[in-house]
Every structure is written in structure tokens, then in C-alpha cells.
Amino acid sequence: MSKPETPAAANFLRPIVQADLDTGHCTKVITRFPPEPNGYLHIGHAKSICLNFGLAETFGGACNLRFDDTNPAREDQEYIDAIKQDVEWLGFRWAGRAHYASDYFDQLHAWAIHLIEQGKAYVCDLSPEEARDYRGTLTEPGRNSPYRERSVAENLELFARMRAGEFADGQKVLRARIDMASPNMNLRDPILYRIRHARHHQTGDRWCIYPSYDFTHGQSDAIEGITHSICTLEFEDHRPLYEWFLDNLPVPSRPRQYEFARLNLNYTITSKRKLKQLVDEQHVSGWDDPRMSTLSGYRRRGYTPAAIRNFCDMIGVSRAGGVVDIGMLEFAIREDLDATAPRAMCVLRPLKVVITNYPEGQQEQLELPKHPKQAMGQRTLPFSRELYIDRDDYTENPPKGYKRLVPGGEVRLRGSYVIRADEALRDEAGNLVELRCSYDPDTLGKNPEGRKVKGVIHWVPAGESVTCEVRLYDRLFCSANPEKTGEGGSFLDHINPDSLVVLKGCRAEPDLASAAPGDRFQFEREGYFCADLQDSRPGQLVFNRTVTLRDSWGQA
């Protein structure tokens, strides 16, 4: 019997969209996902992707992918390619071709001239420091720039010279003329264009002035006919400016902005600037390091698109902020892999076992199910005189509740016989190197007579098992709130020194020799693992731990 599906949490935008359709406010829902190509997508973006593409799918509409590429100094084609891959990996497809804000640079430039001609924009020569001083504070109004009253003709001339490349970066900007006394800081004559002598990945050297995000976003929405422009709550105070531009420009449509609470996940950093710092300073191996909160990192770690989509459904969409427990994300991947990952045995810290009363040269082919509940077929394990178990499954000083091998004690080998530990061999330094055991030949598939054996441990055949490397990944940060630092501190202070443990010389059952990059398994009693997408290959297997099992070691 399959497990009941986890119900999706509320999404406050669905009834809004439905009402817009019912009232004829729009006839077709068109949303967009507008990432900046200045880094890789992270788990927070997954929520936005699922929201925008999900609403479009639910209501039979379309969702555009649009790159907000207005800052070429920080953007790169690598990021564009990675973003496209991530969206497709999550299972979504954007409408038509991918769009770019740079597709609209000519129209935005024409609209900037329109605002100048209407007396609603001017060229300002204040330095960034002076502009901050003139802007005022949350409690004090700003002051008009001394360049605010330039004539239309002068502004048109100066803006044309900015476009022609006559001025250095930062020397001049184009600003909207709105209200320097507005209580909303975003309406205090915001910047429309900055000078940046930087080559653009889409337009080359054609432009040396680039529009601001605020000037670009709403107009791009209008050009594309977006009906519901959905963004996170930090843009709520930008909405009056979004609407001011739509009111004062001859745009072809009238999109509406809605805000939702962004995803805040404990033990996790989602700032692209800080993620880039982790990469640049080599605290991680790259954007796709399995400890990173990037979608490429989750993919390499073994997370599935279904698990991430289910997680986004579980947390829902609301306007109330808060912190989501990372345990919910781990629950989602466990639920998915529990049902879909075939079982296998892998000994992470091998200890050789010789079964002294098993005939030399004899071998049996044992059949074990690939999954205890799903019809995935069988796997074959050869059983003979020599095998490997995990070092942690034998001790001479057992703690309370220990159900594994002890001197003179018995355990069952998973899918095999009951064995008894008879003798432990050690080297000159006292290190355990081999265990001599005996087996009960009458316990294959049945319990021994007259005694009860509680423990079950995993094993692999010594001769036929395959050598592999196993990387035990854990949370990158040991603090639930890595952003919270003491005076002079940094989020880097909270990096978990045990976030990666590399084990070489592990031994896996023979069937895993054919594991392809990306294949996922439950290593019995150890956790869920994935063959690494970059480093794993035939003859050189590398497995990444996706997530631990819910059961503790005492519940094997």
C-alpha cells in the first residue's frame, strides 16, 4: 500500500488569479521567472520557479524565462546556461524562446527619452556619495538635486552624450523626476540609467549605458504581456515605482505586481553574493558542490526534481515571513527516495570476516530484492568463505542497546545466514584486522532454533565486491542562523568542519559496478546515496550521501 500524498500548503495567489480570470481582468495567465545571470540558482529560486511555472500550468497559461541582464560586469554566459539547465531539470519549460531584458534595450532607451521630453527625467551629475546625502533618510525627506531643473533640451543632449560614451563610469546618471520628499525612498528620483563601459554578453559593445532594475522590470513585463508579476516581499516598497512607470509610459499592457514571502531555510545561505564568496575563496569545490544550496549542488548530491517540487508545495506560498526547518527538505527527499531508490549494500569501513566452518571453494548465489515494496526485481550476491562487514558492527565493549557483533555473539547477515564472532585478529599495533566467525547453515531464510538473534547487519562478498569512494556530506553550516554573527564575525565562522568526510576503500556489492552517474540507491543502514555526476565512472566509483536514514544505528 502506497503512502498518502503529503497535502500541499495554501497558496494565496491561486484565488487571486482565478478571480482575475472569472472577472475577465485577463483571459490568459502569463507569468515570468526573471533571474539575474550573475550566479547559479539556489533553493530559494526553486520556490519562485515552482510558483510562476506552477500557476501558469494550473490555469492553462504560459510562463516566460527572462534574464534580467542589466549589469554586464557581473554576468556571464555560464550562469545563463546553468539557469536554463536548472529550470529544465525541475521539470518546467518556458514559453517560446528565452527572453532577455537586453532584448528591450532599444525600447527602454526610447522610453527614457520620452520621460525626458515630458519633463519627468533629468541627467544628474551628483557623485554616488553626494546622491546618498541628498536622498535623505527614512525619517527625513530628501533634497532636490542641483541638476534637477535642467531644461529638456539640455537633458536630451547630455543623455545622448552619455549614450555616445563621452563620460566615464559614474560621472552622470539619468534619474526620474518624482518626489524627493516622498516617504517611500524608492520614489525619491530613482536612477533610470547608469554609465558602464562594459561588454555585454548579449549585445556586445553596442551600449555603454544600462537601465536600472526598477526601470527595466515593469516595462519588460508590459512588453511581454505579463498578467501577474510575482516577486518577493522586499519589492513591495518598489511597487509604487513599478506602477509610476506604467502610468507615465505608453506601455502596451498593464501587468500587476504581487509579492510573496521568500524562502528562508535554516542552516542555509541563499545570498548569491555569499555563495559566490564560498566558491571564490574555495571553501567549497564549486557552484555544484553538494553542500551548496544551489540547485546544481542538490542535483549532484542526489536530490530529485520531484522532491524539491514537493518541498515547495509543502511550504506553500504566503505573505508571512518565517524560517523553514531544513528537516522539511530532508523529509521530502527521504519520502521520494524511499519509494524510488533500489536497495544495495555498501560497507563504508571494511573489516574482513572469514567464516571458518564454510567450505573452501564453495559459493552460493543469494537472491535479494532490489526494493522491499516496489517491483524492481532481484539482485544477486555471491556468498562464500570471506566477506566484509563494517568495523562499527563489531565491538568488545558494547554500549547499552548494542545489537551487533560482540565476542561470542550472533547476528544475521542481511538476506543470508546467522554468524557468530569467535576470534578477533589484531596487528602488532593492536588494530583489528580480521574477524573469525562461524555460521549456522540452517539459518538461511529462517530463524535459528532455540535462540533469538536480534541484530541484522549488512555485508558484501570479499572477492566480488567493488571498491569505491564514499563522500559523506552534511550541512555546510553548524549554526541554524549562519547569517547571525558576532561583532567583526562572518558567516564563514559557522562553516561545519565535518560537512564532508571522504572515505576511500569502501566496498559495495557487485551490482553497483554498473552504476551510472546520477544513479541513486539506499545503502542499507547507511542512508541514500548517488553516484557522483562529475567524478564517478566505471572502475572508479564515487558515491555522495544525499541524506541519512530516519532510523538511528540502533534500529537497523
Q: Which residues are catalytic?
A: 36, 262, 272
Q: Which residues lie across from 33 on neighbouring strands?
A: 65
The residue behind cell 548517488 is 530
Distance CA 521, CA 518 (A): 10
Q: What are residue 373's phi and psi, to 5 degrees?
A: -125, -30
Q: For residue 18, give the 3-state DSSP assignment.
A: helix
Q: What are residue 177's phi and psi, to 5 degrees?
A: -100, 100
Where residue 58 falls (left for φ over 0; alpha for ψ -120 to 50; beta otherwise) is alpha
**56 close to 31: Cβ distance less than 8 angstroms:** yes
Distance CA 556, CA 116 (A): 73
Q: If 0-12 CB within 10 Å is exposed, 13-18 middle and 19+ buried, where does residue 1 land?
A: exposed
Q: What are residue 162's phi and psi, to 5 degrees?
A: -60, -45
Taking the CA atoms of 35, 38, 39 and 44 in sequence, report the sign of the dihedral they define. Answer: negative
Distance CA 491, CA 488 (A): 10
Distance CA 318, CA 9 (A): 9
Beta strand 386-390 with 378-383: parallel, antiparallel or unpaired? unpaired
Distance CA 450, CA 347 (A): 31
Q: What are residue 395's phi and psi, to 5 degrees?
A: -150, 150
Question: In whole angstroms, how far apart are CA 343 and each of 290, 328, 351, 382, 469?
Answer: 22, 23, 21, 16, 18
Distance CA 78, CA 96 (A): 21
